[in-house]
Chain A
């Protein structure tokens, strides 16, 4: 076993930090905090120029040929440097599914733009009545010659107001239920009949409700087989559950430590010298270490072609919630001031962590769904969700 970072990670991280120093201005950071868009078009193109969007793809396909560890090191450094990563990161889930299951024509038309940072794709899975049960999909698609007509509504379609396409799950066989009778499309979001409404979140992220009213989609934009959308979805969902989510537990632990080193408690004592605070900071550091190790193992098993089940996707977000909550307890009012307040501590990050953390236990699979998958896959438990 060898836990030392190989030299190339440090080099990649250094390159990312140089990129951040050059391109991620205070304006970029503040603009993201104000809009919550999750993507900066100009910055995304610059990432694409370096092959960093599809960083794991071969250089000939516009990627950078990085292995999963290198890609994780790169994106971790970019995110910590303030690059809005939700948009480009999300784009890669459908992009990889298209690369695996799409037609040759679709791949040639879409993927180069993705790698270049020109093309952004959002996810159209979740519906108002669906939630974690993505196969409860009710958005309809009906074939009409060389086109399909789509009607329905999706929710939590983050950065739909900026993206070029939505990777849209539809029910193409009327009367079908569950995972059967589904078809997946890549829908251009400038199509007539697409209506996008903003939804603002307590974490200051913007997301959207998207309505599809008689939207005509070319059959050439179908991904995978007609009525065979389940296979495409499964590939995309598995990629999401096994993707190293890049836990933020160690990040909030570092911010909490910085706070404790620079503030005093109500009794006037330095927080860093208070055993009650030290115990919680140590717990955050410990859970941060565990979260990072579980993430690292995802990348490692990914490189070996093995899947550990969504344990890191469960532990990372849940430990992030615990740490962000303990941090507010420790910091009190000083920790709850918004970053725009000149008196906010650690650039308002404590308030921001607490606001953002809870959503991470939901998107990409709610903790409850992940727990069911873990006991089924790792311990052979019977399935508890009803089969359709």
Chain B
């Protein structure tokens, strides 16, 4: 039992905190709202080796675990970094597991963006979370993991959306290559989707922690009726719930990382729990952090609204959290056996 980060893990966190602090400023985040993507930030992100962190060394990666990636995702979330983190990291690891060295080369350099189509059904019928910017997506087609390239000539335009995400559908996907088939393929793809659950959870925790920082600092200085509004317990106490839930969510994410990387039986259940708990926590934490701003929280000029919108969008773009509780149930209690509700 050891709940501490290693020196290397702390260094990863510090590196990315510094990178995002400099390259994902609120002004840059606002500028990327319509495209869902900051090309310059992506360049820096790739240059520090972010894309290979979780990839095996024989594929050119850094041999890191899911926890290292979660630390990166948490920092990215804390700065609302407008680059694709979760699906690209899980996608690179999936390619690494499948031994796709050649495909990984340009991906790890950042010149090719490969995301993951996490929703069930054909790629042509999904709204892809990174569809506006991805050069290819990995998907499960029946029992095969397939590599699907971007439709020829599709402009890199995102649908205008709640979370500043690079959302776009691919109605007529490009070339499809089968990378793996059979049981092993499905297992590997499911694990990649579980890694997305955990990394989205980590990003939401970073996002919500930053929002709590903004909201609580405002509540401490803003005065009403002659004293700081933070002295009113109705204003202060929901922040205690947020801090508490964020501590729990972070521990849950870290346990899920450990369980995934050590192939623990409970890993799939923990991954789904981490997603649900982080999604709900992020929603409640950002809602209160915005609310204490009063009318100002509603104004575009205030950063808190950026967090509030993404808290909901980053989770719901992956899945409905309550539906994910049924995933937890399937994994902890076994699937529904007879005609239930």
Min CB distance A164 to B, Å, is 36
Residues of B within 8 A of A378 (CB): 240, 243
With contact pairs A275-B326, A379-B239, A384-B231 given, residues A1 and B2 touching in the complex (Cβ less than 8 Å):
yes
* Contact in complex: A315, B243 (CB < 8 Å): no
* Contact in complex: A381, B338 (CB < 8 Å): no
A1-18: which have CB < 8 Å to B?
A: 1-6, 9
* Contact in complex: A4, B231 (CB < 8 Å): no
Tell me the count of chain B residues lying within 8 A, CB to CB, of chain A: 52
In the complex, A343 has a CB within 8 A of chain B: no
Min CB distance B272 to A, Å, is 8
Min CB distance B336 to A, Å, is 5
Q: How far is the CA of A269 from the CA of B338 in the complex (A)?
A: 9
* Contact in complex: A4, B1 (CB < 8 Å): yes
Q: How far is the CA of A369 from the CA of B231 in the complex (A)?
A: 13
In the complex, B41 has a CB within 8 A of chain A: no
Q: How far is the CA of A289 from the CA of B325 in the complex (A)?
A: 14
Give B9's nearest chain A residue, CB to CB.
Answer: A1
In the complex, A311 has a CB within 8 A of chain B: yes
With contact pairs A6-B1, A371-B236, A379-B212 given, residues A274 and B341 touching in the complex (Cβ less than 8 Å):
yes
* Listed stretches A57-65, A175-183, A290-298; interface member: A290-298
In the complex, A211 has a CB within 8 A of chain B: no
In the complex, A129 has a CB within 8 A of chain B: no
A46-87: which have CB < 8 Å to B?
A: 69
Q: How far is the CA of A370 from the CA of B252 in the complex (A)?
A: 22
Interface string of B48-70 (1 = CB under 8 A from A): 00000000000000000001000
A337-388: which have CB < 8 Å to B?
A: 368, 370-372, 374-375, 378-384
With contact pairs A1-B67, A3-B1, A314-B240 given, residues A371 and B233 touching in the complex (Cβ less than 8 Å):
yes
In the complex, A276 has a CB within 8 A of chain B: yes
Min CB distance B314 to A, Å, is 19
With contact pairs A6-B1, A300-B3, A379-B239 given, residues A290 and B339 touching in the complex (Cβ less than 8 Å):
no
Q: How far is the CA of A272 from the CA of B326 in the complex (A)?
A: 12
In the complex, B124 has a CB within 8 A of chain A: no
Residues of B within 8 A of A69 (CB): 1
* Contact in complex: A311, B231 (CB < 8 Å): no
In the complex, B259 has a CB within 8 A of chain A: yes
* Contact in complex: A283, B212 (CB < 8 Å): no
Could you give 29 example pairs across A and B, Cβ below 8 Å? Answer: A1-B67, A3-B255, A4-B258, A257-B333, A270-B340, A272-B333, A273-B337, A273-B341, A275-B340, A279-B322, A282-B333, A285-B328, A290-B248, A290-B252, A291-B248, A293-B248, A297-B247, A300-B1, A300-B3, A309-B243, A368-B233, A368-B237, A370-B240, A375-B237, A378-B240, A379-B220, A381-B216, A381-B230, A381-B231
List 6 other contacts, CB 8 Å, given A311-B248, A371-B236, A371-B237: A1-B254, A273-B340, A285-B273, A285-B332, A311-B243, A375-B243
Please list the 7 inter-chain residue pairs (A to B) with the smallest Cβ-Cβ separation, ordered nearest first: A273-B340, A371-B240, A290-B248, A278-B329, A374-B240, A293-B251, A282-B328
